[in-house]
């Protein structure tokens, strides 16, 4: 019976998701509470992803 799930647990999980969405909507509707992320943050994420990819490729070469 490994495929049996608790309906109550799923229902509670869904209620938490709905409550979170309501809180997020409430916060987003307050003027000035939500600000765009700075472009520099996205640039930094891009650099980190590129560095991680280089590290993965180097690691793969070492394992071969």
Structure letter (DSSP) for residue 26: H
Break the chain into its structural domains and give their ranges.
7-63
pLDDT confidence of residue 11: 93
Q: What is the pLDDT of residue 6?
A: 83
> Mind listing the pLDDT tens digit of every residue in the chain (64 residues)?
567 778 988 999 999 999 999 998 998 888 887 788 999 999 999 999 999 999 999 888 777 6
Per DSSP, helices labelled H in 1-64 are: 7-29, 39-63
Nearest to 34, CA basis, from 45, 26, 42, 46: 26
pTM above 0.85, yes or no: no
Token duo for residue 41? 């943050």
């Amino acid at each position: 019976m490994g495929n049996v799930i608790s309906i109550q647990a799923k229902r509670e999980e869904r209620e938490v998701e709905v409550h979170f969405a309501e809180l997020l909507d409430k916060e987003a509707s307050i003027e000035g509470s939500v600000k765009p992320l700075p472009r520099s943050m996205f640039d930094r994420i891009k650099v980190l992803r590129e560095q991680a990819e280089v590290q993965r490729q180097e690691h793969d070469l070492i394992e071969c």
